[in-house]
């Protein structure tokens, strides 16, 4: 059974923020308020929701959290407004430290950062002092970052690796292929090995491996505030008749943040034969690139029908190459003359 890697990663982050908030705020901790802020933080940090006019990423996140604070204040009853406003303020201020702990901003030295946090806590948060807090802060942040790193590394394998190459002249866009790093018996020719490796059930299963290896790379991009880089990957046409296996395969990337980065490549012929399924997957958030094969007739009307695809891939040997070239200015997709 495949798992949703991003959701597991988010769970690690949520657990850290909750633990850190509870320890730091002590008597000012409020579970409901903390959960509201965590949800908003994840939406801004992972899914890039928020105020795009802010140049710096941490400012975008902070402004989104400020908007959440105002929303929560509006829903407070007058009786408890002053008390809970103070808790909301304290929670919001705490995120200036969480930005550093979670890598949105960088610190030079964790020990020094932990010391600074604890010194500022008593001055800015008006809470009771906690014995050996500096050591606790250091340990919890160190443990959190080690847990994230260990989690992402857990998907590495010596048997397979990804070949990631940038598409020429297209910004932030890469093609991905899975390589196997183990030796097969010499009695099999390279031709036979390639045929077996790229066809049927083995081809389907290797996609799961490819996606599993690629998702941690996408997560690292997102942790570095890179939401623009896209990865174009293969999709086995033998999966269209296997509803259960499609769900199993795509579960690995079934997350809005990952769906925005990993683009599935399908041929025009496969699209025509499986329109309903592909449209359904698009409605579920998955994004596709269309490969223009020789069954495509280049007309303005047909090109408009392909606007639902993020990318249009045109092999240079395609009979449609010159026709697509001539109409490129009228095409809304990002056109790549490569597979």
Percent of the chain with pLDDT over 90: 77
What pLDDT score does 82 carry?
81
What value does the mean pLDDT take over residues 86-110?
A: 95
Domain boundaries, the chain: 5-153, 160-336
Residue 245 to residue 239: CA distance in whole angstroms: 7
Task: Tell me which architecture the domain covering 160-336 has in CATH.
Answer: Alpha-Beta Barrel (3.20)
Please, what is the average pLDDT of the chain?
A: 90
pTM of the model: 0.92
Least confident of 62-71, 121-130, 265-274: 121-130
Least confident of 68-72, 102-106, 177-181: 177-181
What value does the mean pLDDT take over residues 82-104?
A: 93
What pLDDT score does 69 carry?
94
What pLDDT score does 197 carry?
46
Q: Is the pLDDT of residue 58 over 80?
A: yes
Reported as a pLDDT band with limits 50, 70 and 90, residue 321 is very high
Reported as a pLDDT band with limits 50, 70 and 90, residue 199 is low
List pLDDT tens digits, range 7-31. 999 999 999 999 999 999 998 899 9
């Amino acid at each position: 059974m495949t798992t949703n890697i991003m959701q597991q990663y988010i769970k690690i982050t949520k657990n850290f923020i909750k633990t850190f908030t509870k320890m730091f705020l002590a008597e000012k901790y409020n579970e409901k308020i903390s959960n509201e802020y965590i949800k908003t933080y994840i939406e801004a940090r992972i899914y890039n929701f928020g105020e795009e006019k802010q140049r710096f990423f941490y400012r975008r996140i902070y402004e989104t959290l400020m908007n959440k604070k105002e929303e929560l204040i509006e829903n407070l009853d007058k009786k408890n407004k002053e008390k809970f406003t103070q808790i909301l303020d304290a929670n919001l201020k705490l995120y200036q430290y969480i930005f550093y702990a979670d890598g949105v901003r960088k610190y030079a030295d964790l020990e020094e950062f932990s010391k600074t946090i604890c010194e500022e806590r008593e001055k800015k948060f008006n809470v009771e002092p906690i014995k050996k807090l500096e050591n606790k802060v250091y340990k919890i942040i160190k443990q959190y970052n080690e847990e994230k790193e260990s989690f992402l590394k857990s998907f590495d394998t010596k048997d397979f690796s990804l070949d990631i190459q940038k598409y020429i002249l297209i910004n932030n866009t890469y093609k991905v292929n899975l390589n196997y790093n183990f030796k097969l018996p010499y009695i099999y020719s390279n031709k036979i090995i390639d045929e077996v490796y790229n066809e049927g059930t083995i081809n389907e299963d290797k996609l799961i491996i490819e996606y599993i290896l690629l998702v941690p790379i996408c997560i690292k991009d997102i942790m570095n505030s890179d939401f623009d880089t896209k990865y174009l990957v293969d999709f086995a046409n033998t999966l269209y008749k296997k509803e259960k296996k499609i769900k199993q395969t795509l579960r690995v990337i079934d997350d809005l943040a990952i769906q925005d980065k990993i683009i599935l490549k399908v041929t025009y012929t496969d699209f025509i034969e499986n329109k309903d399924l592909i449209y359904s997957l698009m409605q579920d958030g998955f994004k596709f690139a269309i490969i223009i094969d020789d069954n495509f007739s280049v007309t303005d009307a047909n090109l408009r029908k392909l606007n639902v695809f993020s990318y249009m891939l045109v092999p240079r040997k395609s009979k449609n190459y010159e026709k697509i070239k001539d109409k490129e200015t009228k095409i809304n997709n990002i056109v790549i003359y490569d597979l």
